[in-house]
Structure 1
Amino acid sequence: MIMQMNRISIVLLGIVALISSCNREPQTLDVDKELAKAMKQYEIMLTTHRDTTQIPHSLHQDGTYHDKPSEWWGSGFFAGTLWYMYEYSQDQKWKEAAHLWSMAVAKEQYNTTTHDLGFMVFCPFGNGFRLTNDSTYLPILMQGAKSLSTRFDANRGVIKSWDSFRDYDFPVIIDNMMNLDFLFWATAHSGDSSYYKLSVEHADVTMANHFRPDYSSYHVVCYDESGKALAQVTHQGYSDNSAWARGQAWALYGYVVMFRETGEEKYLKQAMSIADFYLNHPNLPEDKIPYWDFDAPEIPNEERDVSAAAIFSSGLLELQGYVDKETADHYVAEAREMLINLSKKPYRTDFGEAGDFLLKHSVGHKPGGIEVDVPLIYADYYYIEALLRLRNL
């Protein structure tokens, strides 16, 4: 009888322990520790990259660096990340490194063949000017905004992304929303309202044509000369009607910027609706790090896209500042959980691992077989941005 009671007691103690573990406080994130580790890893990366014509981007499958020239669409992210490290540490060495790698992409201010000048020019020079007020950066930024604006077509009301796609000659991708922050900056620093107006028009046309009733986004919309949407398709997603994960993150971030810069409630509603689609999707994994496409056919045996989680968490942490307290608390909790999980295995790297990029397991373009399950520099950029935003709350 005594032995039986002891067994019952042990079982009851186990149940109590299990309940107790379920009621523990959520995991915490030591942001300062993560930022300190990131800086040490990027110190190593700086020693492996002396040639500023070869900009860190990713890794090849054999583990060697897959570097890119300045005309690559994401060439500004490395310098932008260095500026964030300077912002955090106020250490002059990061300022010097950030300036060096920013100037490596300065010639892209004249590039009118791409819509990605927000990434290429504004990420490095916008952050550099914000943190240093160095007048050297002003003409570069203004020329970059001017070059970007040449891709706006008044008849269609949007900024052209690529010069052609499939059989169409005016494709616009959801990623393009990320460039509008640059154009708002240009109006604020030049007094030229044309940049502001074309940003609003682009956002409105995109809102009308890029989104489904559930607020998921198409990747590519192709327009005719009159502005009619001829096709709503994909390039990097699973299918034309699927929800490519990073596209949803670009959309959220872009419409948060739109609300910040205009105060128009329609943009806040759009951003919140995109956030709800993402956070409540039945295919979002428990750790909040999405599969590369929410509709990929082999879930749960599909690759995650860490870059989407990094971008989305950063967007949420700005969005929380524009909503009521209950909603803000929810957004912060979701973003924090994403960042907690990004900051540990299997996503976070150790010293000397994965070329000292910070995050593994991003997907660039799976249908094209390009950059599948690799580190990507823009995942690092938005991860650091999100950590800084969380720290500043």
Structure 2
Amino acid sequence: MKKRKPGLKALFVITSSLIALSFTDQKPSFIDTSFRAAEKQYQFLEQAAEKQHKFPRTLSPAGKLVGTDEWDWTGGFFPGSLWYIYNHTHNKETEAAAIKWTEALEKAKDLDQHHDIGFVMYCSYGNAIKYLKDPKKVAAYKDILIHSANTALKRYNPQVGVIKSWNEKKSWDGKTLWKYPVIIDNMMNLEMLCYVSDLTGDTKYKDVAISHATQTMKNHFRKDHSTYHVVDYDGNGHAIHQQTNQGYADNSTWARGQAWAIYGFTMMYRETKKPEFLKTAKAAAKFYMTHPNLPKNKIPYWDFNAGKPGYKSDADFSSLKLNFVPRDASAAAIVASALIELSTMTTGTESKSYLTFAQESLQTLSGATYFAKYASNGGFLLQHSVGSLPHHSEIDVPLTYADYYYLEGLTRLEQLKK
């Protein structure tokens, strides 16, 4: 097998020109402060999760911890976050907790009910391989990721050219039945496939990732480089429906969907060096960063077009009786992390714009409005995220993946400043 550490092996190589572009050559003070606070908060959260024997996902409307088993798409984020915290603090108790919660996911190496095995296994085991110094465990974890990648390929149809996200599902219009739905989120599951190709020397995994990204690039983007959430394919790989499931309307731009696109194509450029993937990442980032509906503090509304003229939703929001448009801190965290990496792939003012935007976003998320006080927010770090407004689910609450990408963003920013 080829030896390769997962994830960001080349991401944090810093050139002198990049350092010159950053608006400070020193590590921002909020990074260390945030990690120290995160460790204390996650000790509190870990105790609550241990009582449930479940992976923390969010809070209920009553403020109670909502946990999941290993078959949910969010299980890998909690151990992954613990690994990011451990990497900064080197606290052995945090390391032990990260190992425990990572290994609790092992059965999910056979998760084939949906597409998110990459989220579950790579955010946990991938980070463990990166930060753990135990060769025996690392070797076992690599085998688990190889197994997981083979499981992921079960949902790939070469005639269609993409990994199927969900099984059959009806759209919000009540009449369209998606037979082969693929969601923009699925881009995030491709990193594990690229890693396993490099690990084993078998190109089949990366070939699938490239095929999926190429089809997504063709069919998930509008002319203005905004994204559809859901694309449904026929058996020959033709896009037959372009709609939404978690966004406001079929023609609107769901904020987290755009975030997944920016992150996913940035990652695929890192893994393949295909210029079309970099071009796509930059175009998606420009749409997000320059959108007139993006608030000044860079924390987006849950959908860029929610309630705006020209956008009609098939979902019913009337019973929610919201008197505000919720923000989505999870989208902001994902974009911040992605833009830090994108800044290393570009030069000059373009690179500086990505890095500045990312650092300002992380500063906002680290402030009192979004970063929770100790023992509040159920033990989660970030407040004010949205899971799915159309499903009346997880509205203005903490979400485990918001914390994960926030901590990843801090980790990436810290590495750039070293």
Using structure 2 for the length normalisation, give the TM-score: 0.86
How far apart, in 2, do the equivalents of 1:187 and 1:259 lie? Answer: 15
1:242 maps to which of 245, 252, 263 = 252
Q: How does 1:100-179 map to 2 (within 5 A)?
A: 100-132=100-132, 133=135, 134-166=138-170, 167-179=177-189
1:135 Cα deviation from its structure 2 partner? 1.2
Name the structure 2 match of 1:324.
Answer: 347
Q: Contact between 1:163 and 1:170, CA under 8 Å: does it hold in 2?
A: yes
Q: How does 1:67-86 map to 2 (within 5 A)?
A: 67-86=67-86
Secondary structure at the residue paired with 2:169?
coil
1:298 Cα deviation from its structure 2 partner? 6.5
How far apart, in 2, do the equivalents of 1:136 and 1:294 lie? Answer: 43
2:242 maps to which of 226, 232, 237 = 232
Name the structure 1 match of 2:306.
Answer: 296
Q: Contact between 1:53 and 1:104, CA under 8 Å: does it hold in 2?
A: no
How far apart, in 1, do the equivalents of 2:35 and 2:117 lie? Answer: 27
How far apart, in 2, do the equivalents of 1:338 and 1:65 lie? Answer: 27
How far apart, in 1, do the equivalents of 2:308 and 2:164 lie? Answer: 33
Using structure 1 for the length normalisation, give the TM-score: 0.91
The question of 1:182 aligning with 2:192 is answered yes
Name the structure 1 match of 2:267.
Answer: 257
1:334 maps to which of 344, 354, 357 = 357
How far apart, in 1, do the equivalents of 2:167 and 2:294 lie? Answer: 34
More deviation, 62-71/243-252: 62-71
How far apart, in 2, do the equivalents of 1:29 and 1:86 lie? Answer: 18
How far apart, in 2, do the equivalents of 1:266 and 1:168 lie? Answer: 28
More deviation, 367-376/104-113: 104-113
Q: How does 1:276-315 map to 2 (within 5 A)?
A: 276-297=286-307, 301-315=324-338
1:52 Cα deviation from its structure 2 partner? 6.9
Aligned residue pairs, count: 367
Q: Contact between 1:59 and 1:374, CA under 8 Å: does it hold in 2?
A: yes
Q: Contact between 1:222 and 1:230, CA under 8 Å: does it hold in 2?
A: yes
Name the structure 2 match of 1:217.
Answer: 227
Secondary structure at the residue paired with 1:172?
strand
Secondary structure at the residue paired with 1:309?
helix
Q: Contact between 1:52 and 1:101, CA under 8 Å: does it hold in 2?
A: no
Secondary structure at the residue paired with 2:218?
helix
How far apart, in 1, do the equivalents of 2:69 and 2:224 lie? Answer: 39
How far apart, in 1, do the equivalents of 2:236 and 2:308 lie? Answer: 40
Could you give the per-residue CA deviations for residues 52-85 of structure 1, whole angstroms, max 9, x where no partner exists? Answer: 7411110011111111111111111000001111
Q: How does 1:190-209 map to 2 (within 5 A)?
A: 190-209=200-219
Q: Which amino acid aligns with 1:255?
A: F
Q: Contact between 1:29 and 1:340, CA under 8 Å: does it hold in 2?
A: no
How far apart, in 2, do the equivalents of 1:130 and 1:149 lie? Answer: 24
Could you give the per-residue CA deviations for residues 289-326 of structure 1, whole angstroms, max 9, x where no partner exists? Answer: 00000001179930000000000000000000000132
Secondary structure at the residue paired with 1:75?
coil
How far apart, in 2, do the equivalents of 1:149 and 1:314 lie? Answer: 27
The question of 1:271 aligning with 2:294 is answered no
Q: Which amino acid aligns with 1:322?
A: M
The gaps in structure 2 that reach 5 residues or longer are 1-23, 171-176, 310-322
Secondary structure at the residue paired with 1:371?
strand
Q: Contact between 1:53 and 1:70, CA under 8 Å: does it hold in 2?
A: no
State the identity %. 43
Q: Contact between 2:73 and 2:120, CA under 8 Å: does it hold in 1?
A: yes
How far apart, in 2, do the equivalents of 1:160 and 1:98 lie? Answer: 30
Q: Which amino acid aligns with 2:356?
A: A
How far apart, in 2, do the equivalents of 1:149 and 1:374 lie? Answer: 33
The gaps in structure 1 that reach 5 residues or longer are 1-24
* Larger relative contact order (CA 8 Å, sep ≥ 6): 2
How far apart, in 1, do the equivalents of 2:140 and 2:304 lie? Answer: 43
How far apart, in 1, do the equivalents of 2:75 and 2:412 lie? Answer: 23
Could you give the per-residue CA deviations for residues 198-239 of structure 1, whole angstroms, max 9, x where no partner exists? Answer: 111100000000000111000000001111111000000000
How far apart, in 2, do the equivalents of 1:187 and 1:254 lie? Answer: 17
Secondary structure at the residue paired with 2:298?
coil
Runs of 4+ in 1 over 2 A off after TM superposition: 298-301
How far apart, in 2, do the equivalents of 1:324 and 1:29 lie? Answer: 25
Q: Which amino acid aligns with 1:91?
A: N
Name the structure 2 match of 1:56.
Answer: 56
Q: Contact between 1:58 and 1:67, CA under 8 Å: does it hold in 2?
A: yes
1:103 Cα deviation from its structure 2 partner? 1.2
How far apart, in 1, do the equivalents of 2:48 and 2:204 lie? Answer: 43
1:345 Cα deviation from its structure 2 partner? 2.6
How far apart, in 2, do the equivalents of 1:188 and 1:359 lie? Answer: 34
Cα RMSD for the two superposed structures: 1.4
Secondary structure at the residue paired with 2:344?
helix
